[in-house]
């Protein structure tokens, strides 16, 4: 990150905590970034071939154990690059692990990673070893040549639609060819590796990792154990044309945004409201009325002890706002689902709660059932939805999951029994640095396209959407973030209330173009993932939320950016035919853009700007 004042850092990211430093290196036709002992943005002939390679240690809740790195040495020559370091980390049980990593790159040869680790005492982990990330651009749908540990070769392809399970298992090496003519081969030694489709979690990558998920986890590495893994990347072939760098530092040329009109209608705005946020929402009713969302999603969880009082609070809020509300209702699954929903219906009637819809799911569907695990007991889903239809006959009935597309992809609702389908997303499941969070925007269209392949033309809502994690399907809880850092699976993220968060939300809404989303629900109005602070102060994403609400039901504009990783946009056609467009700079560097043939506009770091172009000048 460039040197900035403290106020700049807080305005941009919501925190003064600094980002890890990226150091860039070039060796022959290789170029790569080094950050915290890992490699990012691995390029050959200026073409990204591997997104990242890193040695990671996960604790029993799948959070990354932060390493303490020392004795780092980098030797760069014209024909080679050599990087070594030692590190230690500890899990929440204070169990320690030490390891050494070496990275070697030859200008005319391979890129090789080697890690050796040992345990001083017993160490509990969900996964320890190398992770290799393939990008999704030009890789999704590409032919894959997979060599297995027994030497057999499988010819397949990287999935185009998101695969709910591992697309490749028992990987010794995997090779794919890029459209430019380069072939990339990744060889992995020292353990059994497999690949998962990380687009499920909105990561913009395919991840190859060690220790298959069908083995028990967490698992114990016993005291004194020593392990070694090797990753080797080889590139062959000649590129047909030298590609152009598309990193966030490439700000020398203006971005062109082409705009056209579609028949797609802009989605409604929804807000998720938890019971503990009702009081603060009522205190800021005037701002809620000004924001004018089209839907409130009222989060009701009997497993967490919610009951009559929480429904009464929701009723007060709904009557005061007049905004249509749906009840997001967790069904405990302890007894008959009809009996459990009958209790909810009776308490809701007693509270005077008026609803437009109800979204139900079994409590166990909030939790992940990864490949190889034993599914938890669950009431028959068909019975659950039939009971909901019987008990709430006048309400629109939603199905799906309260967590992420991962779980919807594996636990599909009976489409014949529901009126609409929904799931949430979270961009900090696997990585929480700024670059990774912005990269998740690349995966949004893959998620919506894959969901559409499952549900067809069924009405489709998405959310709650926020950077911070509302609930953790993969561990016991979301992580607390008292120090306001960038950490995975955090219950709140400081960037949600900063310019970064507004730019990210703009990119998210832009990426929904073409998916015919009925409603996008944000993480909250107040609270840790809301658009208002505790004192009623507006975060930058309040303005983006207001634009979404204002555009709801209008004809959507198709906004195509020539450099979508730098500048993005969404828009709608107003009643008078004017083009209403929100443009965002997704980087921490100044950017400029040309829009609809208008003069060049300059954007400050993470700036979001509204442009209104009169119908007579909007030459779509």
User: Does residue 300 carry a pLDDT above 60?
Assistant: yes
Q: Please count the CA atoms within 13 angstroms of the CA of 232 that sit on its side-chain side.
A: 10
Model pTM score: 0.93
Mean pLDDT on 368-385: 82
Tokens, residue 459: 């009405």
DSSP, residue by residue, 275-334: GGGHHHHHHTHHHHHHH--SEEEEEE-GGGT--HHHHHHHHHHHHHH---EEEEEEE--S
Q: What percent of the chain has pLDDT over 70?
A: 96
Mean pLDDT on 62-67: 85
Assigned CATH for 22-236: 2.70.98.10
* pLDDT of 597: 66
Report the distance separating Cα 246 and Cα 586, nearest Å. 13
* pLDDT of 3: 40
pLDDT tier, 466 (very low <50, low <70, confident <90, very high otherwise): very high
User: Does residue 242 carry a pLDDT above 70?
Assistant: no
Assigned CATH for 250-266+554-620: 2.60.40.1180
Q: Are 69 and 36 in contact (CB under 8 A)?
A: yes
Spell out the SS3 assignment of 450-483: HHHHHHCCCCEEEEEECCCCCCCCCCCCCECCCC
Predicted confidence (pLDDT) per residue in 571-589, tens digit: 999 998 999 999 999 999 9
Predicted confidence (pLDDT) per residue in 136-152, tens digit: 999 999 999 999 999 99
Lowest mean pLDDT among 1-5, 111-115, 191-195: 1-5
Higher per-residue pLDDT: 4 or 389: 389
pLDDT tier, 101 (very low <50, low <70, confident <90, very high otherwise): very high
């924001």: which residue's tokens?
Answer: 291
DSSP, residue by residue, 100-117: EEEEEEETTS-EEEEEEE
* pLDDT of 245: 43
* pLDDT of 613: 85
Strand segments, DSSP code E, in 518-562 are: 519-522, 555-561
Lowest mean pLDDT among 328-332, 355-359, 379-383: 379-383
Burial of 242 (0-12, 13-18, 19+ CB in 10 A): exposed
Q: Are 450 and 488 in contact (CB under 8 A)?
A: no
User: Does residue 243 carry a pLDDT above 60?
Assistant: no
Predicted confidence (pLDDT) per residue in 189-219, tens digit: 999 999 999 999 999 999 999 999 889 889 9
User: Does residue 84 carry a pLDDT above 70?
Assistant: yes
Q: What percent of the chain has pLDDT over 90?
A: 78
Mean pLDDT on 293-300: 98
- Tell the CATH superfamily of the 267-552 domain: Glycosidases (3.20.20.80)
Burial of 389 (0-12, 13-18, 19+ CB in 10 A): middle
DSSP, residue by residue, 23-47: EEEEETTEEEEEETTEEEEEEETTE
Mean pLDDT on 479-492: 91
* pLDDT of 476: 75
* pLDDT of 503: 98
Lowest mean pLDDT among 98-102, 239-243, 370-374, 506-510: 239-243
Q: Please check whether the two domains, 250-266+554-620 and 267-552, share a CATH topology.
A: no
* pLDDT of 288: 97
Q: CA 542: distance to chain centroid?
A: 20
Q: So where are the chain's domains? A: 22-236, 250-266+554-620, 267-552
Q: What mean pLDDT, rounded, does the chain reach?
A: 92
* pLDDT of 603: 96
Whether omega for the bond prior to residue 464 falls within 30 degrees of 0, making it cis, is yes
Mean pLDDT on 145-171: 96
Nearest to 272 by CA among 551, 526, 539: 526
Alpha carbon separation from 573 to 264, 407, 522, 595, 597 (Å, rounded): 11, 35, 23, 15, 17
3-state secondary structure of 82: strand
**Phi/psi at 164 (nearest 5 deg)?**
-70, -25
Q: Are 54 and 131 in contact (CB under 8 A)?
A: yes
Q: Please count the CA atoms within 13 angstroms of the CA of 570 that sit on its side-chain side.
A: 27
Mean pLDDT on 263-278: 97
Tokens, residue 88: 């230690």
* pLDDT of 238: 79
Alpha carbon separation from 69 to 35, 47, 73, 119, 458 (Å, rounded): 11, 29, 11, 16, 50
């Amino acid at each position: 990150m460039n040197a900035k004042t403290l106020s700049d850092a807080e305005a941009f990211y919501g925190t003064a905590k600094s980002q890890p430093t990226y150091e860039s290196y070039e060796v022959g036709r290789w170029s790569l970034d080094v950050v915290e002992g890992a490699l990012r943005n691995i390029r050959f002939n200026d073409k990204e071939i591997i997104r990242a390679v890193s040695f990671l240690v996960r604790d029993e809740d799948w959070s990354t154990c932060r390493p303490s790195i020392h004795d780092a040495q980098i030797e760069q020559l014209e024909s080679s690059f050599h990087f070594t370091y030692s590190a230690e980390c500890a899990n929440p049980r204070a169990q320690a692990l030490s390891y050494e990593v070496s990275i070697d790159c030859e200008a005319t040869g391979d890129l090789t990673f080697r890690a050796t680790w040992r345990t001083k005492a017993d160490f509990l982990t969900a996964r320890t070893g190398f992770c290799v990330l393939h990008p999704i651009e030009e890789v999704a749908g590409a032919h894959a040549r997979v060599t297995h540990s027994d030497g057999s070769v499988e010819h397949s392809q990287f999935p185009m639609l998101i695969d709910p399970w591992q697309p490749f298992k028992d990987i010794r090496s995997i090779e794919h060819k890029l459209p430019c003519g380069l072939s990339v081969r990744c060889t992995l030694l020292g353990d059994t590796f497999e690949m998962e489709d990380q687009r499920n979690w909105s990561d913009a990558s395919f991840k190859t990792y060690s220790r298959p998920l069908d083995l028990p986890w967490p698992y114990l590495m016993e005291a004194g154990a020593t392990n070694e893994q090797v990753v080797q990347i080889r590139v062959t072939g000649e590129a047909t044309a030298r590609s152009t760098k598309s990193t966030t530092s490439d700000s020398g040329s203006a971005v062109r945004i082409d705009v056209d009109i579609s028949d797609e209608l802009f989605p409604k705005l929804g807000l998720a409201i938890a019971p503990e946020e009702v009081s603060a929402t009522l205190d800021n009713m005037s701002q809620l009325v000004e924001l004018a969302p089209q839907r409130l999603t009222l989060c009701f969880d009997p497993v967490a002890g919610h009951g009559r009082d929480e429904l009464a609070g929701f009723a007060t809020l709904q009557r005061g706002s007049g905004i249509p509300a749906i009840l997001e209702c967790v069904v405990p699954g302890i007894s008959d689902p009809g009996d459990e929903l009958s209790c909810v219906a009776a308490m809701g009637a007693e509270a005077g709660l008026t609803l437009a819809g109800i979204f139900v799911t079994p409590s166990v569907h909030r939790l992940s059932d990864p490949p190889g695990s034993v599914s938890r007991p669950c009431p028959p889903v068909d019975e659950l939805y039939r009971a909901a239809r019987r008990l709430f006959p006048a309400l629109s009935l939603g199905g799906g999951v309260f967590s992420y597309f991962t779980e919807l992809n594996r636990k599909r609702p009976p489409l014949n029994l529901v009126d609409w389908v929904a799931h949430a997303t979270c961009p900090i499941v696997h990585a929480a640095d700024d670059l990774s969070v912005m990269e998740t925007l690349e995966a949004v269209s893959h998620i919506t396209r894959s969901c559409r392949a499952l549900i067809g033309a069924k009405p489709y809502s998405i959310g709650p959407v926020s950077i911070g994690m509302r609930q953790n399907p993969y561990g016991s809880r979301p992580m607390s973030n008292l120090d306001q850092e960038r950490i995975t699976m955090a219950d709140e993220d400081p960037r949600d209330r900063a310019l970064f968060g507004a730019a990210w939300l703009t990119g998210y809404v832009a990426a929904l173009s073409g998916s015919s989303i009925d409603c996008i629900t944000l993480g909250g109005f107040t609270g840790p993932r809301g658009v208002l602070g505790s004192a009623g102060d507006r975060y930058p994403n309040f303005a983006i939320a207001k634009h979404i609400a204002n555009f709801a039901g209008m004809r959507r504009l198709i906004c195509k950016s020539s450099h979508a990783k730098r500048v993005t946009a969404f828009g709608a056609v107003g009643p008078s035919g004017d083009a209403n467009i929100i443009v965002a700079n997704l980087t921490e560097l100044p950017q400029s853009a040309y829009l609809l043939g208008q003069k060049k506009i300059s954007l400050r770091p993470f700036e979001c700007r509204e442009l209104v172009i009169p119908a007579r000048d909007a030459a779509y």
